[in-house]
Amino acid sequence: MARQVLSAFSHWLGSIQRAKISLSAFESLASQDVAGFRDNEMAALGQQNPYQCDQCGTSNIVAVPLLYEQGTRTYSGPFHQGSSQSYSAQVAAPPKPRSYARPLFLWGFAIFFFGFWACAGFSAHFKYPNDSSMAHTIAFLLILGLACAGGLVLNLRRVSRYNREVYSRLYWDWEHTYQCRRCGKVLVIPI
């Protein structure tokens, strides 16, 4: 019985020593991996921002979209909701596309005005066909209405071209714009 206990005890000690050996080997591998990770982490931190400000030489620059995002806050309560922006977020706001509403409203009002009076003139001309004094007025109102319709088409084309060509370039420039946090200089860095 004593031999069996001694044999079990020696077997138990052997397994503990084998576990210690494998644990120490694992720890050495882990420490090498951690050291390599720390070296890689330091290298990544060193290469995180290779750009410098032209004016003051600092590497403390930040993307303008990030400034806009960090300075814009939205809030909501039981009776109100809204958003607030810091001054730097207002300055760093993205460009906005042009709206079609303004040309449609302005030119649409003019087209409606001249079209309404031209229709009124036509109805008066059909009611009193012998009166020829209104023919020139009706023709003038129709020409003005058609000119306004042409102006509406040209303005809608101009807004469409701006949104398609100019706005896309402005937005790309905004996405690639950086600002120095020390001196405030704005840099466009095409990446």
Place of tokens 């814009």: 72
pLDDT, greater one: 38 or 139: 139
Give the CA radius of gyration of the chain.
38
What does the pLDDT read at residue 128? 79
Q: Where are the alpha helices (DSSP H) in the chain?
A: 2-46, 64-71, 87-91, 101-127, 135-161, 167-175
What does the pLDDT read at residue 53? 78
Greatest mean pLDDT range, 22-36, 63-77, 155-169: 155-169
Q: Distance (Å, rounded) from C-alpha 54 to C-alpha 130?
A: 81
pLDDT, greater one: 107 or 10: 107
Please determine, for residue 2, whether its predicted confidence score (pLDDT) is greater than 60. no
| pTM for this prediction | 0.57
- Count CB atoms within 10 A of the CB of residue 148: 20
Q: What is the pLDDT of residues 75-86, one digit of tens each?
A: 888 888 888 888
CA dist list (Å): 19 to 4, 6, 25, 97? 22, 20, 10, 68
pLDDT, greater one: 76 or 148: 148
Structure tokens at 126: 């059909």
For 166: left if phi > 0, alpha if psi spans -120 to 50, otherwise beta; the answer is alpha
> Which of these, 138, 140, 112, 111, lies nearest to 125 by C-alpha position?
138
Length of the chain: 191
> Which of these, 72, 102, 107, lies nearest to 87 by C-alpha position?
72
Q: What is the pLDDT of residues 39-60, one digit of tens each?
A: 444 344 444 556 777 778 877 8
Please determine, for residue 8, whether its predicted confidence score (pLDDT) is greater than 80. no
Please determine, for residue 6, whether its predicted confidence score (pLDDT) is greater than 80. no
- What are the residue boundaries of the structural domains of the chain, listed by start? 61-93, 101-180
- Count CB atoms within 10 A of the CB of residue 75: 9
- Count CB atoms within 10 A of the CB of residue 114: 20
What does the pLDDT read at residue 42? 39
What does the pLDDT read at residue 48? 55
Banded pLDDT at 186 (limits 50, 70, 90):
confident
SS3 of residue 150 by DSSP: helix
Question: What average pLDDT does this structure show over 62-74?
Answer: 85
Please determine, for residue 97, whether its predicted confidence score (pLDDT) is greater than 90. yes
pLDDT, greater one: 76 or 158: 158
What does the pLDDT read at residue 4? 57
